[in-house]
Structure 1
Amino acid sequence: MIRANGIDVHVERLEPPAGEPGEVGAERGADPATLVMIHGMASDSLASWYFTVAKPFADAGLRVLMYDLRGHGHSERPPTGYTLDDFVDDLSALLTTLDVTAPVHLLGNSFGGTIAFAYAARHPDRVASVAAIESSPPTPAWMARVARRLDRAADLLPRPEALAQIVAGRGARVARRARDTGEMLVTTTLARDLPASALPSAAQISAIGSPVLCLYGANSAVVELAPAVVRLLSQTRTVVLPGEKHRVLVDRPEAVRRLVLAWLREECSVEVAEVATAP
């Protein structure tokens, strides 16, 4: 646990094996490149990274940094302060507290990708690349979708009958996570703050000059936003995974690992080791 931007933040760090490549560029002996993983909103936590791709990325030679967003997981849950700027401020303070001074590679899942884009728009000199899974920059169209999902969750999850249905259909573990999400939406201003966030302009988003990778599930509604992302950020490489929905990270972690590592090598000049593919 560290103190950053006035709250206690839960952080996990994985170091690459000694002697493995992972530095930006080809020079051996430099510090490994840092990959910051940002999870999604409401029902997510850093566990979605920890149990999927975090260790394979570290094994490939990257310094991996994960953290629970404010109000999520084991991080502090203040009653207020959940605008997009608050989440960007948290990331900025986190990197400063951990003395991460070199430009970082950001990997965001769902709304975590939006935080990554917003951070890159505000701090372009501190970002080496942005990779986003089932996400979008903070455009009005995307934020309207986020607001609708938060409204539905805030209305549904506090209901005992809804939790009972989740237990019956998806099990007790998922129901516990849903109950915690419902409590967060009732006891904090998240559902009001996030939709009311001040957004960067289209010009500010388009000024992001680092390489961008966007992964989408072909059967997810989020893929509809892919053309708008490319219009804003022409350098974006888009990959659509057939048959997948919004749970790309959880359902296809090996594909995520393979695609992101290849892109880091080819587009970002990051030297990473080959890691054996799971059978």
Structure 2
Amino acid sequence: MAFLELDGLRCHVQRLAPRDGRPPAATVVLVHGLLTDSLASYYFTLAPALAAAGVDVLMYDQRGHGRSARPQTGYRLEHFVDDLDILLDRLQLPGPFHLLGNSFGGTVAFGLAARRPEEVLSILAIESEPATPVWAAKLDRMLRRAEEQLPREETLAWVSEQHGSHTARLARSAARLLAETSLARDIPASRLPTEAELRTIRCPVLAVYGTESDLADQAAWLDTLLPSCRSTFVPGQEHSVLVETPDVVRELTLSWLRQNGAELRGPTTDERYAGRSAEPQGSVR
């Protein structure tokens, strides 16, 4: 565990080096989603498998989340992108690197790729989308609804009954985040990249959707918008693809890295995950 100061923000960072001690086959930066999410969602699902395959893995808690600081203000998308930009400089991360973003984390990844196109080898976006006016309006509705409903005991009781006590604790923490900060108002007011700026993202992009997710309908649009984007779908899943089907995401990620030049190594899938259990995590777009 490590903490770094990013222009006044105390940021919790975790890094997993290749387990065999050899030079990394690739460098992957993992970016998590909003509200109930943190780097733990990767630590218990994807990160150990990547390290076992010879990957240098960087993950961090975004501002307001996990063990990072929770300022009262400063939650526009550009602040989240700034944090990642500064973190990469502070760590002097050897590039170029791959970005993997879950939900809102994918939106941050698209923002960084537009800012640093020469340093991003590829993007794998799980249930995510670039920031657009439609995205901002949707986030506005979702965050206002969460701000209203999450503090209610009946809501938390329903979450506990349907998804377990751990998820209910995450929901309670999300309610505090919304109550104590300007996040719900800042994100819809973010500076949005223009379509021309988004089209500068020319690295390969793999967009992963659940077939039952409302985001699946945007696949054709994103494939058209980004020059090197293709989409894949996980059957029967809604938004929580990473949490509900971690094995599928692991294999998609490892295959994607190989397709984009990473000479991965390490044990077989069965050896990697034998005896490993994951505590469920959640996220909100």
- Cα distance in 1, alignment partners of residues 207 and 23 from structure 2: 25
Q: Is 1:88 the equivalent of 2:88?
A: no
> In structure 2, what residue type is equivalent to 1:68?
D
Query: Which residue among 242, 256, 262 is the counterpart of 1:263?
Result: 256
What is the CA–CA distance in structure 2 between the aligned matches of 1:167 and 1:255, rounded to whole Å? 26
Write the mapping of 1:171-210 to structure 2, written as runs, cut at 5 A: 171-210=164-203
Contact 1:80 1:188 survives alignment (8 Å):
yes
Aligned partner of 1:53 in structure 2 is 46
**Percentage identity across aligned positions?**
49
Q: Which residue of 2 aligns with 1:149?
A: 142
Residues 1:21 and 1:96: Cα distance change in structure 2 (over 3 Å): closer
Measured in 2, the distance between the counterparts of 1:104 and 1:92 equals 13
Note if contact 1:5-1:89 (Cα within 8 Å) is conserved in structure 2: no
Bigger mean CA deviation after superposition, 169-178 or 147-156: 169-178
TM-score by length of 1: 0.92
Matched position secondary structure for 1:10: strand
Conserved 8 A contact 2:202-2:227: no
2:20 maps to which residue? Answer: 18
Conserved in 2, the CA contact under 8 Å of 1:21 and 1:271? no
Which residue, out of 74, 85, 100, partners 2:67?
Answer: 74
The amino acid across from 1:179 in the alignment is R
Asked if structure 2 preserves the Cα contact closer than 8 Å seen for 1:113 and 1:137, the reply is: yes
Show CA shifts across 1:99-129 (max 9, x none): 1141221000001000000110111122111
| 2:283 paired residue number | none
Judge conservation of contact 1:254–1:277 (CA < 8 Å) in 2. Answer: no
CA contact (8 A) 1:22 1:270 kept: no
Length, aligned pairs only: 269
Q: 1:4 aligns with which of 3, 6, 19?
A: 6
1:253 equivalenced with 2:255 (yes/no): no
Segments of 5+ residues of structure 2 without an aligned counterpart are 275-285
2:278 matched residue in structure 1: none
Q: What do the CA deviations read for 1:200-231 (whole angstroms, capped 9, x no partner)? A: 11111111111111111101111111111111
Q: Which amino acid aligns with 2:263?
A: E
2:223 to 197, 218, 230: 230
Could you tell me which amino acid in structure 2 is paired with residue 12 of structure 1?
Q
Please report the TM-score for the alignment, with normalisation by the length of structure 2. Answer: 0.90
Q: How does 1:26-37 map to 2 (within 5 A)?
A: 33-37=26-30
The 2-side partners of 1:41 and 1:19 are apart by 33
Q: Give structure 1 stretches of 5+ with no counterpart.
A: 24-32
Distance (Å, rounded) in 2 between the aligned partners of 1:197 and 1:253: 31
How big is the shift at 1:142? 2.2
Question: Which one of 107, 110, 114 corresponds to residue 117 of structure 1?
Answer: 110
Deviation at 1:150, TM superposition (A): 1.0
Q: What displacement does 1:172 show?
A: 2.0
Aligned to 2:279: none
Deviates more, 1:78-87 or 1:253-262: 253-262
